[in-house]
Structure 1
Amino acid sequence: MTRRELLAATAAAGAINMLPGALRDSAARSEAIRPFSIRFPGGQLDDLRRRVAATRWPDREVVADDTQGVQLATIQKLATYWAKDHDWRKIEARLNALPQFITVIDGLEIHFIHVRSKHENALPVIITHGWPGSIIEQLKVIEPLTNPTAHGGSETDAFHVVIPSLPGYGFSGKPTVPGWTPVRIAKAWATLMQRLGYTKYVAQGGDWGNAVSEQMALQEPPGLLGIHTNMAATVPADISKALAAGGPAPSGLSPDEKRAYDQLDDFNKNGLGYAIEMNNRPQTLYGIVDSPVGLAAWMLDHDIRSYELIARVFDGKSEGLTRDDILDNVTLYWLTNTAISSARLYWDNAHFPTGGFFDPRGIKIPVAVSAFPDEIYQAPQSWAEKAYPKLIHYNRLPKGGHFAAWEQPAAFTAELRTAFRPLRNSI
């Protein structure tokens, strides 16, 4: 038996302690949970500012709107603020004030935030970000979720919160082989929750976080009670077919269904450029590794309603996100050099397919849906009820978009409290 086979066999039998000393020590190290903190050298921050200031600008777009992409005036306002006013050390200190850890799962270092509530019967939740997001998306909801009595809730609303960085993102390791799909990540997240000692828990996600959470629901690892999504996969097959054909909406749709169809149709026709490139040729994106302004523009052009919100922010308007919020996230990608490693998740998913991004997957465990109006599409309740036979919560929110926890933290927190309340009797 090889060393790897011996480790696998003994771990499966729960007998790590029976291994010979050297192998036992190696296995223990591989499963160790190590504290983690951040401190980027000042020289890297100086280099970032120098690169931003040295940006070679293109000509202005030749239309009066954003149909050609991120507008020159918007990105120049961002660059000016980035070079002169943004302070990375503030978000670095904020992250370092939280309990952060690294552990190795399936051969890859996984970084995560883990904040336990002071309330004994708190419900553990693992929250997964997406692209172009990061753990920064969820920072505003940690305190309200873990300490509800200080934020308008009761102790029965408390959560223990686990927020991992996706593989290839942020401070997690960068895969060196293909295949780190949502299926594989879902298995890693179940291992993480088990390693943390949680025997019953829930999962939450939007964007890639939804894909990972739904794969966890399909895998039904021991202890997973249910999931919550703010970007549900509910599009019926006939709707997907009509969208692929590029024709008009099918007849007989309700107003909510027609609005969702129109949102999806617009995204398919005008909003998929970034995903097509990352699905097919992520390694070609050298420009966004070499130019911070190039990276920022690429990340801003995710979906039109998010871009419009960000443009308003840099015009001085008050929104759920601030200029610092946006640049904290872009700077994290820059300093960790994860522009291309994060993009490869799209390539992996395209080459190891598990169905369309918004296709129902046949989930059998409880699911809760929060439908925000400015998401890529606002999932209608009728579609959600068909996609999730055990739908335990559905709410159509009046405000909020793709980055729900980041942009509308109070609404997001309230949704999680309500959504998972029916499952708390199981812990």
Structure 2
Amino acid sequence: MGLLWKANLVVIGIIAALCHRFYINYFSSVDLPNFNYNEYWGKGDENFYKEDTSIKQFKIVFEDKVINDLKQQLNRDIEFLPSYEDHPSFQYGFNAAKLKDIIKYWRDDYIPRYKERQDFFNQFQHFTTQIQGLKIHFFHEKVPEIYKKSKKVYPILILHGWPGSVREFYELVLIFKKFNRENKDYAFEVVVPSLPGFGWSEAASKSGMGPAHIAIVLRNLMLRLGYEKFYVQGGDWGSVIGSALATIFKENIYGYHSNLCTFGTTKANLKLTIAKLFPKYFFEEDFYDFYPSILENLPTLIEETGYFHLQATKPDTIGIALSHNPFGLAAYILEKFSTGTNMLFKNLPDGGLTKHFTMDALIDNLMVYYLTNSIQSSVRIYAEAMTDKYRALDLDRVISDAPYGCASFQHDIGHSFDWQIKDKYPNLKHHTYYRNIGHFAALQAPEVLFKDIIEFAQKTLEIS
């Protein structure tokens, strides 16, 4: 064998080894990492902690002190710099004239009715319990005992994200309650928690609490409620946490339904590139536009993800700036409800905010953050999910055989197609597409989301 031939074999061997290494590092599935299912996140020394496992009834209270402070803040005579004359829209961010209208409504209409809004929040049964050092808040709509005699009952855990809250799901839960009364065969017991650091759930006092660690807390919550097996539904961070639940605890999951089905692995991005070259083989023809290429989507990503970069790197800076600041809180959060519902709404002087949402619903959501002063702790989830240690978990590459369902809403921030999804969830049972609905689907179109959840349940449990 000649020297040149031997050299070629060495080069081929090196290339093969590099390709194999590249495949292992970026394309192959990985094993589930180890987690501490009782990791302590509370204040002080864990050695002095004894968990109170009782479940306590809880009432949401708009405390007079906080309301009076809010009134004083909203009564401040602040002059905002007007929007450009040639751009009286949301293209530069929140429109100052619209913010004045919102502040006026909040001060003159909403606040005088705050007892009514407090009653609205308390229409469901709220509870708190202590898990892994944190007080966790949730509301829980059980099926009346009289129905349990004739119906199969399934628990479902419904998860919000940022800048949402449990308020997103009130209309959806009312639809569940109506369904439970009318359906003859089965019903759902609904559990809606405030994520740790959001609303009335206590924030972690130790760093490192990423979405998977929140999933562990919520699985422990469901076990405490007596649910060994349950459905999960989530959008936004709720979809990331829901996916972690379906990955780490697939034995506890009847099925996982998401309305934000995105997978950003190297393999998923390569598949998108291939699929864009031969779209008819991978996408339903009516929904080609749901899947822009990476290059097509790049300008939007650059323009619309500035908040993500800030919250993923300096969450406490923006959190402190917005704390006890209703003007900043309204502008910062409601701008996301505008573009998150439809990117084109940024071209409107009112941001299209009340095209799909009532002003009361939008301010209810603001009140969750203001009453609990949780904006700073809520945005920390971005930083915790972006650490090197958390990203090294690589949960999107851990295969889960939990039944999976996806509802893709046109104006959401991203979508994955079946060829991508099946790398993570080979037991894909359900994938539907809906136009003219955006990121906050539970609040914008609760009937549509509910119908999709039920269709998924019927496919996973073979019930009718």
TM-score band, normalised by shorter chain: 0.7 to 0.9
1:420 positional shift: 1.3
1:292 aligns with 2:332: no
Match of 1:180 among 196, 209, 213: 209
Q: What residue is the counterpart of 2:363 in the other structure?
A: 327
Deviation per CA, 1:341-379, whole angstroms, max 9, x where unpaired? Answer: 101111111124337999665332111001111111244
| Structure 1 counterpart of 2:375, one-letter code | A
| Structure 2 counterpart of 1:81, one-letter code | Y
Map of 1:312-351 to 2, 5 A cutoff? 319-351=355-387
Deviation per CA, 1:395-424, whole angstroms, max 9, x where unpaired? Answer: 101332111111101001111111112333
Cα distance between partner residues in 2 of 1:155 and 1:399: 32
Consecutive unaligned residues in structure 2, runs of 5 or more: 1-35, 39-48
Contact between 1:371 and 1:397, CA under 8 Å: does it hold in 2? yes
| Structure 1 counterpart of 2:91, one-letter code | T
Q: What residue is the counterpart of 2:96 in the other structure?
A: 72
Match of 1:272 among 305, 308, 316: 305
Q: What residue is the counterpart of 1:301 in the other structure?
A: 335
1:198 aligns with 2:227: yes
Match of 1:396 among 433, 447, 452: 433
Contact between 1:368 and 1:393, CA under 8 Å: does it hold in 2? yes
| Structure 2 counterpart of 1:31, one-letter code | T
Q: What residue is the counterpart of 1:110 in the other structure?
A: 136
Name the SS of the counterpart of 1:109 in structure 2: strand
Cα 1:395–1:257, aligned 2, differ >3 Å: closer, same or farther?
same
1:300 positional shift: 2.0
The TM-score with structure 1 as length reference comes to 0.83
1:312 positional shift: 7.0
Match of 1:164 among 193, 197, 201: 193
| Structure 2 counterpart of 1:404, one-letter code | A
1:158 positional shift: 1.9
Q: Which moved more, 1:71-80 or 1:102-111?
A: 71-80
Greater CA radius of gyration, 1 or 2?
Answer: 2
Name the SS of the counterpart of 2:410 in structure 1: coil
Cα distance between partner residues in 2 of 1:355 and 1:90: 47
Q: Which moved more, 1:257-266 or 1:412-421?
A: 257-266
Contact between 1:127 and 1:204, CA under 8 Å: does it hold in 2? yes
1:376 aligns with 2:400: no
Cα distance between partner residues in 2 of 1:388 and 1:313: 42
Cα distance between partner residues in 2 of 1:305 and 1:110: 28
Cα 1:70–1:260, aligned 2, differ >3 Å: closer, same or farther?
farther
1:176 positional shift: 1.1
Give the fraction of aligned pairs with identical amino acids, expressed as a percent: 26
Match of 2:172 among 107, 130, 141: 141
Cα distance between partner residues in 2 of 1:392 and 1:99: 33
Q: What residue is the counterpart of 1:39 in the other structure?
A: 61
Contact between 2:98 and 2:349, CA under 8 Å: does it hold in 1? no
1:386 positional shift: 4.6
Cα distance between partner residues in 1 of 2:446 and 2:189: 17
Q: What residue is the counterpart of 1:16 in the other structure?
A: none
1:172 positional shift: 0.5
Cα 1:238–1:386, aligned 2, differ >3 Å: closer, same or farther?
closer
| Structure 1 counterpart of 2:76, one-letter code | A
The TM-score with structure 2 as length reference comes to 0.77
| Structure 2 counterpart of 1:349, one-letter code | A
Cα 1:313–1:166, aligned 2, differ >3 Å: closer, same or farther?
farther
1:42 positional shift: 2.3
Deviation per CA, 1:36-57, whole angstroms, max 9, x where unpaired? Answer: 1122222321321221231533
What do you get for the CA RMSD once the two structures are aligned? Answer: 3.2
Name the SS of the counterpart of 1:397 in structure 2: strand
Q: Which moved more, 1:416-425 or 1:134-143?
A: 416-425
| Structure 1 counterpart of 2:405, one-letter code | A
Cα distance between partner residues in 1 of 2:311 and 2:453: 31
Match of 1:212 among 221, 238, 241: 241
Name the SS of the counterpart of 1:394 in structure 2: strand
Cα 1:420–1:264, aligned 2, differ >3 Å: closer, same or farther?
farther
1:232 aligns with 2:266: no
Cα distance between partner residues in 2 of 1:356 and 1:336: 31
